[in-house]
Chains A and B, each alone.
Chain A
Amino acid sequence: MKFNSIILFLVVFTLFSINNQAVAQKNKKSTEIIILHTNDMHSKIDNFGKLAYLADSLRKTHQYVFLVAAGDNFTGNPIVDMYPDKGFPMIELMNKLHFDVTALGNHEYDMGQELQNKRRQQATFPFISCNVDATGAVAKPYEPYVILKAGKIKIPFLGILQLGENGLPDSHPSRLEGLKFTNGIEKVKDFLWLKDKYGILIALSHLGVENDEVLAKTYPQFDLIIGGHSHTTMTKAMMVNNVMIVQTGSGLKNVGITTLHVKKGKITDRSYELVPLASIKKTDPEVQAMIDAYNSNEEMKRVVGFAETDFSSKEELGYLMTDAITARMKVDFAFQNGGGIRISELPKGDILLKDVFRLDPFGNQVVTYTMTYDEVKSLIINSYNRDKSVDLAPSGMIYTIIVNAEGLCTDVEMKDMTGNLLDANKSYTVGLNSYISASYKFNHKDPGTTNFNTTAQTLLDYLGDVKKVNYAGLNRVSVKK
């Protein structure tokens, strides 16, 4: 098995080398530069050993190998995101592999500016972005670009960050206070002198492929756009306006190998290959040991709350989940679907971090709505009629399902937590998980919005606030024929 693995890798690697040697012959006297690139790793660390093995193998046979990331290194794996030093495993692994640079991604802000500063301080590589002004913010200033050297050749990499319709990167606005963001595509024009000076210009873009296309159409000065944000897996490079655009998906499933040949300060040849890391059967043992240690760490056993009594039903756990949403998101009501409550019991005593992720493992976001009384009612009726059974665990209200002879819900009696009927003429703020938002049919004029907080994180924050919880025997839903 081991022998077969080595053979497979050598075949892949040799084919890659033969191809590049042929190009090198064609480009005699040109300098070959290999850029290993990834994007949107989102804290997924399991393939770092394979990436390390591939990078080291290439470094042994090629003089100039760069390793770069196009942003969103963090958020997406509790092993990393919930580490005592939030996000540190990612930095330690990226340092170990000698990353040269990363673009700043929107999810780099998920841990807050202060922690981001710490992670950047620990990193042996810069986080670059040309369209973020940190003057007066907690975040330390960002370099807009970095120059990587291949002998006498200097290659500028320009960082560009995605902004949403609200002019902010997709992260909770509270984490972006004091920062000033400008449109990345417009801002690039201030850095075109890099092309004039160095003859080469590479974008390390966290704009997403749609914006990368615009970037390429607007600025043919770019030789290469190494993209991220849209989680696009490109098996072939996109060529737009003679600009090469590449991107490798998400979660470190793949790595891109882009090879440049540079002659007299100009790129004479470019090629791109997507390498699924599953195809690399060998791993760097030192890096693998680090990954194994992180994956088996004790952090998931950290106490995050205390259950004064047993949770003995999915409903009780659902009420805890929705109470977290109403309290933390400051909404009137919240609802949790039964299928999204993944454990049915939790013994009294310490609630551990791993319990929260067992209860709510999906990474769903909280979506908030403003809804009329009738719209809330339509949500409950439709949820019941999906399977002719109670589905939604509420917070902020108690409700009674009225069913007809066929067992279908025809009406709902909704009361506040003190037992008063809800005002049918009022609008209410409602928090749902993104699964309900996407898959349940209900009337709502407000399409809903998310502030990029997950339901699990919301529950953790809530447990941090209240410390102790007790839901024994609680029932907020009844059915009347």
Chain B
Amino acid sequence: MKVTLNNNEIIIFKGATISEMVLAYSLRSHKMLKNGKLCVYDRFGNLTEPDGPVYEGQLFYLKRAE
């Protein structure tokens, strides 16, 4: 399935989590997500936990943790 992270199209398996989506995007970003230095936000601007599910067509943004 296709999802969008920071305006980049990511192709990932169905059933993937937010964490796995970030892993597919960048190993470095994934490490920063695990360390709490980066967070993932949904298209509404809400924080989304790394263990949350991802579905076809969704948009997310990685930002530095506040």
Chain A interface (Cβ within 8 Å of chain B)? 40, 42, 76, 164-165, 170, 208-210, 213, 229-235, 238, 247, 249-251, 365, 367, 434-435, 437-439, 447-452
Question: CB distance B15 to A209 under 8 Å?
Answer: no
| Residues B48 and A437 in contact, CB atoms below 8 Å apart | no
- Sample of 5 A–B contacts (CB below 8 Å): A231-B48, A234-B46, A251-B51, A447-B13, A449-B13
Q: A76-B51, A210-B55, A249-B49 are in contact. List 4 more A-B contacts (CB 8 A).
A: A229-B53, A230-B42, A233-B47, A437-B12
Q: Give every chain A residue within 8 A of B21 (Cβ-Cβ).
A: 438
Q: How many whole Å from B28's CB to the nearest CB in chain A? A: 11
Which A residues are in CB contact (< 8 Å) with B20?
A: 434-435, 437-438
Q: Inside 8 A of B56's CB, which chain A residues have their CB? A: 165
Indicate if the CB atoms of B18 and A447 lie closer than 8 Å: no
Measured CA separation A435–B27 after assembly (Å): 11
The CA-CA distance from A209 to B54 in the complex, in Å, is: 11
A165 to chain B, nearest CB (A): 7
The CA of A165 and the CA of B54, in the complex, are separated in Å by 12
CA distance A231 to B53 in the complex (A): 8
Cβ of B2 to closest chain A Cβ, rounded Å: 9
Name the CB-closest residue of B to A441. B24
Q: Counting CB contacts under 8 A, is B14 at the interface?
A: yes
CA distance A330 to B14 in the complex (A): 19
B12 to chain A: which residues have CB within 8 Å? Answer: 437-438, 447
Contact of A249 among B23, B24, B47 (CB under 8 A): B47
Q: Which residues in B have their C-beta under 8 angstroms from that of A451? A: 15
**CB-CB contacts below 8 Å: B1-50 with A:** 1, 11-18, 20-21, 23-24, 27, 30, 42, 44, 46-49
Complex: how many Å from CA A251 to CA B50?
11
**Contact between chains at A367 and B46 (CB < 8 Å):** no
**Cross-interface CB contact of B51 among A42, A209, A449, A452, cutoff 8 Å:** A42
Report yes or no: A250 in contact with B13, Cβ–Cβ below 8 A: no
Which single member of A229, A232, A438 contacts B16 (CB below 8 Å)? A438
B62 to chain A, nearest CB (A): 15
Given A229-B53, A231-B53, A439-B24, A434-B48 contact (CB < 8 Å): no
Taking a contact as CB atoms closer than 8 A, the residue among B15, B42, B48, B51 that contacts A450 in the complex is: B15
Chain B residues contacting A233 (CB-CB under 8 Å) are 46-49
Kindly list chain A residues whose C-beta atoms are within 8 Å of the C-beta of B23. 435, 438-439
CB distance from A458 to the nearest CB of B (A): 14
A164 to B42, CA, bound (A): 19
Give the distance in Å from the alpha carbon of A311 to the alpha carbon of B57 in the complex.
44
B58 touches A250 (CB 8 A): no
Q: How large is the interface on B (under 10, 10 to 19, 20 to 34, 35 or more residues)?
A: 20 to 34
**B46 and A439 form a contact (CB under 8 A):** no
Question: Which of A210, A235, A448 is in CB contact (< 8 Å) with B14?
Answer: A448
Determine how close the nearest CB of chain A comes to the CB of B42; give it in whole angstroms: 6
Q: How far, in angstroms, from A170 to B49 measured CA to CA in the complex?
A: 18
Question: B51: which A residues are within 8 A, CB to CB?
Answer: 42, 76, 231, 250-251
Nearest CB in chain A: distance from B53 CB, A: 7
Task: Please give the distance in Å from B40's CB to the nearest CB on chain A.
Answer: 10
B11 to chain A, nearest CB (A): 6
Given A437-B13, A448-B14: A230 and B30 within 8 A (CB)? no
For B15, B17, B21, B24, the residue with the greatest tally of chain A CB atoms inside 10 Å of its CB is: B15
Contact B16 A230, beta carbon cutoff 8 Å: no
B13 to A434, Cβ gap below 8 A? yes
Closest to B57 in A: A210
Nearest opposing residue in chain A for B30, CB measure: A439
Q: How far is A365 from B23 in the complex, measured between Cα atoms in Å?
A: 14
With A230-B48, A234-B46, A437-B20 known as contacts, the answer to whether A450 contacts B53 (CB < 8 A) is no
B18 CB to closest chain A CB (Å) equals 7
Given A42-B51, A250-B51, also A209-B16 (CB < 8 A): no
- Residues in B with CB closer than 8 Å to A165 are 14, 56
Q: In whole angstroms, how far apart are the Cα atoms of A424 and B17 in the complex?
A: 33
Q: Which residues of B contact A209 (CB under 8 A)?
A: 42, 44, 46
Complex interface: chain A residues within 8 A of B1 (CB): 447
A449-B15 in contact (CB<8A):
yes
Instruction: A435 to B42: give the CA distance in the assembly, Å.
Output: 22
CB < 8 Å neighbour of A231 from B30, B44, B52, B55: B52
A213 CA / B11 CA spacing, docked (Å): 25
Residues of chain A within 8 A of B24, CB atoms compared: 438-439
B1 to chain A: closest residue by CB: A447
Give the chain B neighbours of A213 by CB distance below 8 A.
44
In the bound assembly, the distance between CA atoms of A99 and B56 in angstroms comes to 34
Bound-state CA distance A72–B23 (Å) is 24
Which of B13, B49, B52 touches A448 (beta carbons < 8 Å)? Answer: B13
B residues in contact with A250, CB < 8 Å: 49, 51-52
